């Protein structure tokens, strides 16, 4: 499963990087829906920080949402 | 480690985005190219509580585990025409017990010996973030200090985002460093170190792209390297390598459905590290606008493979060993619901989440650890914005 997932993501990523995916041009006045809070990458900055702290403390994985912060002695 | 803080849905930065739709960049969900138009003050209180362990899993000690009260306070304000500054303070009050080691129980199966129920700790984190905005992007510098009885961390992070000419694509890069010091409290259980240090450095690079009037996608790569003391000093059978390299490939997709006045939110992360752990994280959410109210349910699935040196009962003759359930193979399901309401310049938020893990829910093979964690967490918050 993993190689397939990786391949899919890499292909999508390359498309993004090269522009081959051909996203349709969106004029500035057509970006109302994109500006809706529903389109945020995070539910809220402080919630993202707290949730990230909880998951990182209880799972082996971390990272993926930007630069890492400081550690903790969480058990 | 805590994640790097970015401004999000309830930030004044977002209001300035709404006011400048004509210049909307692809990373509109994160930051605008103008400082916030409002000052924001907020407080959140969260309660985190882990389920007690099953009696059959415990050989000795209390079955109860950690409870944590978390309070977050912040103020974020524009400074001049091109800058913003944010101050964040967080207090974590922890109490309870955690697994000390895993031995053979009376039934011959692995059984947990707990650390005892008397552990109490308090963590205070103070962070300052300054950000500079220009026509096509912004850059931020964050400094954070975390202090608790047995752990101190001082971290620095820098990030920058810039747009393509048509504002349809946004590039983001960030770097961080953290210097941590471990000084275990010795009254709790036997520990064998006085003071150790840990250094962590991290890099991230990502791009987001507007696909249509209702679709946006992003992808990012990160690399994190830690050197120093990575062993858990409070675990009897725990000896980990002094290097830990981690990679992630993360992606996200948002689609707005105008007829429903809501959006589908999908995020995926692939993780791999030098200890032999791989993981998949998939989160799917729905954001429903209901006038002044927002309802946002979400589901998260997580699965990881065990670390090379993990075993349910640690082999203390090996070079490296651990019986920490967090390094075992398992799967976890999370379900949550978030509700917010806007009342003039005030916003009220509440959120509740249930997390359950099970060795049989994972996609990777491996022996199940007896102390996998299940927990509840809930949050209430209040935010005030003013000119």
B19-41 pLDDT, tens digit per residue, is: 333 334 443 444 457 888 899 99
Candidate from B24, B294, B302 with C-beta closest to A34:
B24
Q: What is the pLDDT of residue A70?
A: 57
Considering only residues 295 to 334 of chain B, which have any Cβ-Cβ distance to chain A shorter than 8 Å?
296, 298, 302, 304, 307, 326-327, 332
Q: Hey, is B74 helix, strand or coil?
A: strand
Q: What is the ipTM of this complex?
A: 0.89
Which chain A residues are closer than 8 Å to B166 by Cβ? 25
**DSSP codes of every residue in B85-134:** EEEEEEEEEEEE--EEEEEE-TTSSEEEEE--S-EEEEEEEEEEEEEEEE
* B241-245: average pLDDT: 97
Would B207 be classed as within a structural domain?
yes
Would B110 be classed as within a structural domain?
yes
Give the domain extent around B315.
12-386
Q: What is the CATH number of the domain that holds B336?
A: 2.40.160.40
CB of B188 less than 8 A from some CB of A: no
* B350-365: average pLDDT: 97
Question: Please, which residues bridge with residue B125 across strands?
Answer: B90, B146
What domain count does chain B have?
1
pLDDT at position B7 over 50: no
CB of B112 less than 8 A from some CB of A: no
Q: What is the pLDDT of residue B32?
A: 58
Substitution target from A7, A67, A74 for chain B, most B beta carbons within 10 A: A67
Report pTM.
0.88
Q: What is the pLDDT of residue A74?
A: 63
Substitution target from A8, A10, A56, A60 for chain B, most B beta carbons within 10 A: A60
Would B318 be classed as within a structural domain?
yes
The pLDDT tens digits for A13-72 are: 555 554 555 677 888 889 999 999 999 998 899 999 999 999 999 999 998 776 555 566
Candidate from B29, B180, B182 with C-beta closest to A39:
B29
Considering only residues 134 to 153 of chain B, which have any Cβ-Cβ distance to chain A shorter than 8 Å?
142, 144-146, 148, 150-151, 153
Total CB pairs under 8 A between chain A and B: 301
Per-residue tokens: B307: 């670390």
CA distance B137 to B158: 14
Pairing of strands B330-343, B346-358: antiparallel
Q: Hey, is B13 helix, strand or coil?
A: helix
The pLDDT tens digits for B262-315 are: 999 999 999 999 999 999 999 999 999 999 999 999 999 999 999 999 999 999
Would B169 be classed as within a structural domain?
yes
Q: What is the pLDDT of residue B326?
A: 95
CB of B118 less than 8 A from some CB of A: no
The pLDDT tens digits for B171-194 are: 999 999 999 999 988 776 788 899
Q: Hey, is B233 helix, strand or coil?
A: coil
Q: What angle do CA B305, B309, B314 make, to 5 degrees?
A: 110
Would B162 be classed as within a structural domain?
yes
Would B85 be classed as within a structural domain?
yes
**DSSP codes of every residue in B206-264:** EEEEEEETTEEEEEEEEEEEEEE--S-TT-TTEE--SEEEEEEEEEEEEEEETTTTEEE
Q: Hey, is A5 helix, strand or coil?
A: helix
């Amino acid at each position: 499963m993993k190689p397939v997932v990786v391949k899919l993501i890499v292909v999508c990523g390359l498309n993004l990087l090269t522009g081959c995916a051909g996203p349709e041009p969106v004029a500035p006045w057509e970006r109302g829906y994109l500006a809706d809070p529903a389109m945020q990458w995070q539910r809220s900055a402080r919630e993202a920080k707290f949730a990230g702290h909880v998951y990182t403390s209880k799972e082996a994985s971390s990272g993926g949402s930007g630069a890492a912060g400081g550690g903790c002695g969480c058990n | 480690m805590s994640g790097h803080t970015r401004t999000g849905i309830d930030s004044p930065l977002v209001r300035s985005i709404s006011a400048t739709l004509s210049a909307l960049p692809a990373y509109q969900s994160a930051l605008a190219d103008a400082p916030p138009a409002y000052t924001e003050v907020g407080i959140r209180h969260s309660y985190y509580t882990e389920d007690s362990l099953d009696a059959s899993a415990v050989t000795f000690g209390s079955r109860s585990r950690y409870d944590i009260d978390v309070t977050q306070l912040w103020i974020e304000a524009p400074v001049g025409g091109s800058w913003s500054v944010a101050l964040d303070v967080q207090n974590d009050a922890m109490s309870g017990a955690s697994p000390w080691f895993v031995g053979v129980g009376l039934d011959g199966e692995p059984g947990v010996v707990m650390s005892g129920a008397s552990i109490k700790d308090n963590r205070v984190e103070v962070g300052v973030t300054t950000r500079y905005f220009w026509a096509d992007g912004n850059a931020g510098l964050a400094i954070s200090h975390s202090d608790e009885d047995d752990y101190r961390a001082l971290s620095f992070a820098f990030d920058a985002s810039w747009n393509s000419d048509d504002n349809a694509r946004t590039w983001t890069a960030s770097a961080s460093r953290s210097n941590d010091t471990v000084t275990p409290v010795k009254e709790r259980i036997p520990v064998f170190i006085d003071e150790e240090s840990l250094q962590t450095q991290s890099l991230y690079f990502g791009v987001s792209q507007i696909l249509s009037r209702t679709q946006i996608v992003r992808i990012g790569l990160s690399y994190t390297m830690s050197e120093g003391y990575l062993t858990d000093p409070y675990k009897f059978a725990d000896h980990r390598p002094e290097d830990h390299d981690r990679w992630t490939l993360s992606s996200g997709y948002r689609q707005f459905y105008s007829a429903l006045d809501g959006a589908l939110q999908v995020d995926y992360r692939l993780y791999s590290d030098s200890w032999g752990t791989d993981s998949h994280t998939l989160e799917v959410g729905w954001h429903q606008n209901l006038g002044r109210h927002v309802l946002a349910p979400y589901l998260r699935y997580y699965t990881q493979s065990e670390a090379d040196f993990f075993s349910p009962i640690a082999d203390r003759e090996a070079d490296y060993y651990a019986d920490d359930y967090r390094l075992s193979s398992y799967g976890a399901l999370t379900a949550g619901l978030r509700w917010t309401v806007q009342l003039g310049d005030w916003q009220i938020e509440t959120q509740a989440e249930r997390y359950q893990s099970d060795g049989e829910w994972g996609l990777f093979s491996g022996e199940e650890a007896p102390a996998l964690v299940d927990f509840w967490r809930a949050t209430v918050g209040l935010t005030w914005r003013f000119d």
